[in-house]
Structure 1
């Protein structure tokens, strides 16, 4: 009985060790699969690492160059550029390492960021972002052409000044001046740019063309006209008178009185100079000769349409490019009965005004005396 029981339990009479159940085959297969899978994971991970290594390095590396940088890089900040756009420009030029470094520097130093102006700049390559920000915020680092146009110049004289500052040929300005539509010249100007090139200090965009420069100056002149609230129908008359005032006034304090003299001559043609402006400056402009006073021959030249000593009323157009003070003087002239004036001392600009011709002759004697003492001035050619 016992023997039978053992056979039932152990499977037919073998030893107890031999009778123990064997591990199923699938256990070995699972272990093999696990080892294979682990090898695949390890091998695949190495491949992924090789692919991701640059991104990982970029992620873990500094976003900023250590500075101070070296070499040179030219960049342009355009009108309306945002901080991020400026940063992108700097990154492309390899001035800074990342846009985020510059954006952070700008966020930490908002006053510096707000001080950046449009223009051209020369920086070092591979600078710290904060150093690049400080450099751009300093206006002395802008390399834009800057030119000051004083009041009273002729257009031809302005072209030479612009050309010297920007290296754009004079002929380009002369050509651009003919395209009045492109310049935005007001219809009242009748195609003549003279008078509408507003005198000021300009800092033009990098590589600005002659057309772009003149257009900016014309726009400034129009802006001043609108600012003075002058009716557009009176723009050309105002500009012509302002250009004469600019050329004739001995000092800023006299501009309103000089403007009144010319307005009285126009508005009261039967008195004083009988409708003639009688301006030396207009005669000299027509003769294309800068002078303290025109020669007798120039005064007598009736073929000169700008000879207001012979021709009544306004000349054909402005004779210079006046500034804001002269335009304002014409818009708001002084009150007074004067029909005459003379600058008795060109050195100081002292000017005397008169109502009658007799007073004017007496005052003019002082001017003649000054001319005799200063022959170098060549008052009469």
Structure 2
């Protein structure tokens, strides 16, 4: 009796797998799973879909349309299910618990991914290098490190990214959007991880420790970088001169010595710089800002390091010592100049007579002996220049 009732309720059956459906058009849609037919295509990028509603939802990635809004905070979403998941952040509801440890999650997929941390299961493997992953999307994202594929592009500047999340973060550099706020001080951030790191400045938490010296850090990758101090590892090498570095971004900065690239410009005078921090320092020449003051005499400085060097005139601290004779100096460059008295090194040469000097200022002072201050005539011998000068006196 029940079977007959069910047959009347779902009269349309799939000939391939036997699934039953209430409406004929639902069966037609289902059959596309078996046939692979995708009759609906995106007019912008051509991506095909089995269902019209999937294609329409996809189109929002091009139009930017977000028709579903949160009634609490007004955040907008392109998908209804994304909005419903977001609502749980306001209610605090986490309906999907882990049966092993009891941890709860707002999204079912997050719970399923978490369970694999208990089982150790990594069912998705990279066909190139064999690395294993708990999630399919993680494996697909990893594959881009081999293929070099960057499918997500910024519509404003055209820069491409391997992940959608990285592209979304980048777009905020154009829009200035900072959606993550600190509940303690109200500071806003463009990235969630930046907010989490900032919160640790209030709590003082440094959960990552160096196993060698015990130093603590707020970030895991900072510990890994720090460990290179102990291991001596320099994994980033310059292809031009072979210099090696512990941190990738230092290599990137170094490469500008060879390429001459100066990507950061002053908006006032147009001067270009290799580093962004140099632009900020340079801007003070226009604004006159001197934010660092000596605590003893109040003398102001544009750079913090200049203020610290000045402070040594009050404290008498000389932190740089000569390894040969033990002489101490307030500045590192003064110690390096002094070292030449032991090594005999004279790196500065006169372009006229090729005399060498240990200090640049000595070389510049010497250069004046070759040029006439009145007419600019140059001489290789000082006596000849002095004789020439008398011709101007008569």
| TM-score normalised over the length of structure 2 | 0.23
Q: In proportion to residue count, which structure has more helix?
A: 1
The higher radius of gyration belongs to 1
Q: In proportion to residue count, which structure has more strand?
A: 2
Higher relative contact order (CA 8 A, sep 6+): 1
| TM-score normalised over the length of structure 1 | 0.24
